[in-house]
Structure 1
Amino acid sequence: MRKILPLILLAGVGFLTYSCDNSNNDPVVVNPGQDNDTVGVAFDAYPLFKKVKNNLYQSQQTFQKQLVSADMVLIYIQVDGTNDTPVWRLLPYTRYADDGSPVDYSYDFSKVDVLFSVNSTLDLSLPANSGFYTNKRFRVVIIPADMAKSAKSAAPTVDYSDYNSVIKQYKIDESKIKTL
């Protein structure tokens, strides 16, 4: 009996050591197919454009929180409607003046800021044309990297040019949108 007791004790310790091995690093998925900790964010921006060179106006604005390099940034311009029922167009966007001259709205972004641009062949320095870059409302939508990645792998694709589809897909609460 004395010879068997150490073997049983050794077997028990070995069993406990093996069963407590934490080499399986698979993530625990509580709700498969649902991402509960990352959400899309949207905010309004009213950039104050400055003339950079001939008919190129730009405005740089800093994000409140630094982005992850893989985050997706979409920017929409309000082209019509009221603040209660706005009509949004995805940038880059071209609007045409009464004389047919194109006015191009575009943007560049980094982890820390966004650069809004308005460019045209039209002389934007004339007071009659200042409406193309003053009092413009933009909606900046930031989609976290994890959500953008999962949206690409999901069966239904999002039409990013349709603002309402983007807001619905990424569950952005419009009542909580603030101004940058």
Structure 2
Amino acid sequence: MKKVTLILALIGMITLQSCVKEEVIREVPVTQPDNDTISEVFEYSNVDFNNGNNYNVFLDFPYQIYNSDMVLVYHLYDVVNGQDVWRLMPQTYYDGNLEIDYNFDFTTFNANVILGSNYALNTLPSVWTQNQVFRAVVIPASFGNRMANPVDFNDYKAVIDYYGINDNNVMKISK
């Protein structure tokens, strides 16, 4: 009896292994463009910090971005051999004993750039407060997960290359 049970079990296992479940993959037609996966850059020039704006400047986006989007703000620090040198904010600069801090926060409508210092803000040299240039890089949520992206956000060129942004098509906004 044990041999018959063993043979039936063996036949059952062989029979069940030959069963294949076929999966049906359905393609869903895309009826509208995928607007949430476009990375963009907005450049703001002639940005001035002063007592009147409490050393905070709002960089208004041309349109509302998604709540889930990530925004990186870069400060134009220098131009070397015709190449712009962009620094990711927050950024601290030192000029002798002077410490200058640029920081930001953002909403779906704008980025607020905040100037700070270890000295009275109204005594800062105009090179730090007048005619500043910033770039806001909007990265859609699907790309924004830092753990999934092998890009160094400190490197502006690496960011625009990684996200396929044409640096010649930056939207320029004068303050």
For residue 51 of structure 2, what is the aligned residue in structure 1?
51
For residue 77 of structure 2, what is the aligned residue in structure 1?
79
SS across alignment from 1:125: helix
Q: Pick closer, same or farther for the CA change 1:25–1:66 going to 2, 3 Å.
A: farther
RMSD of aligned residue pairs (Cα, Å): 3.0
TM-score (norm 1): 0.70
Alpha-carbon distance, 1:64 to partner: 0.9
Which sections of structure 2, spanning at least 5 residues, go unmatched? Answer: 1-23
| Structure 2: distance between partners of 1:83 and 1:52 | 35
Question: In the alignment, is residue 61 of structure 1 matched against residue 56 of structure 2?
Answer: no
| Structure 2: distance between partners of 1:173 and 1:143 | 14
Q: Pick closer, same or farther for the CA change 1:174–1:25 going to 2, 3 Å.
A: same
For residue 131 of structure 2, what is the aligned residue in structure 1?
135
Percent same amino acid among aligned pairs?
Answer: 32
1:80-99 equivalence runs, <5 A: 80-81=78-79, 84-98=82-96
For residue 123 of structure 1, what is the aligned residue in structure 2?
120
TM-score (norm 2): 0.72
Q: Pick closer, same or farther for the CA change 1:123–1:37 going to 2, 3 Å.
A: closer
1:114-172 superposed Cα distances (whole Å, 9 cap, x missing partner): 1111100123323x6122111111111001112224x6435xx1110111110110000
Question: In the alignment, is residue 176 of structure 1 matched against residue 173 of structure 2?
Answer: no
Alpha-carbon distance, 1:82 to partner: 5.7
Alpha-carbon distance, 1:52 to partner: 6.7
Q: Pick closer, same or farther for the CA change 1:78–1:26 going to 2, 3 Å.
A: farther
Alpha-carbon distance, 1:84 to partner: 4.2
For residue 4 of structure 1, what is the aligned residue in structure 2?
none
| Structure 2: distance between partners of 1:175 and 1:75 | 18
Number of residues paired by the alignment? 146
Which sections of structure 1, spanning at least 5 residues, go unmatched? Answer: 1-23
Alpha-carbon distance, 1:27 to partner: 5.9
Question: In the alignment, is residue 102 of structure 1 matched against residue 99 of structure 2?
Answer: yes
